[in-house]
Amino acid sequence: MTSTARELARAGTWGGAAVDRLVLDYEGRFLRRRRLVTETGAAVMVDLPETVSLDPGDALLTEAGPVEIVAAPEALIRVEGPLSRLAWHIGNRHTPCEVRDDHLLIRADHVLEAMLSGLGATLSPVTQPFRPEGGAYGHGRTHGHDHGPAETQSDAPSDAHAHDHHH
C-alpha cells in the first residue's frame, strides 16, 4: 500500500515518533512530487504544493504518520587548507558546500578537485551525509548560473536555474 504525503513538518516541529524513515542523498532531498521507498520498503507518494529542500530531521506527514527524513552517506571530498580562499573559489562556482570550522565538504567532482589542488588544498575522500549551507537568501539551496554562451544547461546541476549576471 502506498501512503501519500502532502505536507512537510520541519525538524523540531512534528514531535512524536516517526512511523518510518526515508534515507535520501542531497539531490534526493530536493523534491515536490515523487514516489519514494522507505527503509522498511513502504511506498510513499510525495505530492507537495511546491518544490522544497528537505533537511535531516524533517518529516513528511502521511496517513500512517510522520516519515522522518535522514541524510544518506555520500561520496564527498574533505577540503583543508586556506579555507577563506578555497571557500571563495568554491562559492564562485556556485557549488554546494558544507562549511565546518576546520574544513569544507563538497561532492566528489574531479574538475573541482583539480582546481582546489592547484590552489593548495589538501583533499581527502570521505563518505558521510552531506548537509551544505543554504542559499544566501534563505532558499535552502544554491543555484547555478550562466557564465556566458560556452556554458550549457548540461553543465548546470539538476537543481540549478540559469540566469545572467556580471562578475
Cell numbers found for residue 74: 555520500
Domain-located, residue 164: no
* 57 and 115 part of one domain: no
Domain-located, residue 47: yes
Question: Could you identify the residue written with the cell 556566458?
Answer: 148
Q: How many other CB atoms are there within 10 angstroms of residue 76's CB atom?
A: 22
Residue ranges making up the domain that contains 120: 74-145
The tens place of each residue's pLDDT in the chain, 167 residues long, gives: 789 999 999 999 998 799 999 999 999 999 999 999 999 999 999 999 999 999 999 999 999 999 999 999 999 999 999 999 999 999 999 999 999 999 999 999 999 999 999 999 999 999 999 999 876 555 555 444 333 334 333 333 444 444 444 44
The sign of the torsion formed by the CA atoms of 83, 85, 91, 93 equals negative
Domain-located, residue 166: no
Domain-located, residue 160: no
- Give residue 154's pLDDT: 38
Alpha carbons 100 and 59: distance in angstroms, whole number: 25
- Give residue 133's pLDDT: 85
Domain-located, residue 6: yes
Domain-located, residue 128: yes
Work out whether strand 73-80 and strand 122-129 pair parallel, antiparallel, or are unpaired.
antiparallel
* 59 and 6 part of one domain: yes
- Give residue 134's pLDDT: 77
Q: How many residues make up the chain in this entry?
A: 167
Task: Give the number of domains in the chain.
Answer: 2
Alpha carbons 167 and 145: distance in angstroms, whole number: 11
